[in-house]
Amino acid sequence: MSTSPQLFRCHPNLSDEVNHNIVQSEIEGGVFLNDLPPATVLEIQTQHHCYLVVLLDENKVLISGHPEFCPEPTPVAIAGSTWGGSMLKRRYVGRGMHMEFRHPDYQTPIVTSRVKDIREPQVRQVENQYIGANRGR
């Protein structure tokens, strides 16, 4: 029995660019949202904004961190991540990729700048952000 991880093998029917992107996403790393339990909190740093994401259920999260689309915690559905084109890695947030989510007030998906880092913040950081958001109400 092998204990080594199953890595992606280039597929002959996919272009070199697509195969490269898939391999690169495995090298840079990320997280499949379906592998995380509800109430998991992620801090997703992109080139331009730092998002705070709280997983609610299978396809819903609370997201905040963008001054226009989600200045306050907003329920959205994260579709996954792209490499800047139309190919989507579903329910995955990956470094070097663009996170894509569906906002209830917009018809088209919101696509972020490239994801630089993904981490679980300290509980105190999360509490401070949500307490601060509730004070302004």
Confidence grade of residue 122 (pLDDT, cut at 50, 70, 90): confident
pLDDT higher at 12 or 99: 99
Burial degree of 98 (CB within 10 A; 0-12, 13-18, 19+): buried
> pLDDT, tens digit, for every residue of 18-77?
656 666 666 566 899 999 999 999 999 999 999 999 999 878 999 999 999 999 999 999
Give the whole-number percent of the chain exceeding pLDDT 70. 69
Q: Which of 91, 93, 85, 107 is nearest to 25 (CA)?
A: 93
Q: What are phi and psi of 23, to 5 degrees?
A: -65, -45
Residue 1: pLDDT above 50?
no
- This prediction has a pTM of 0.76
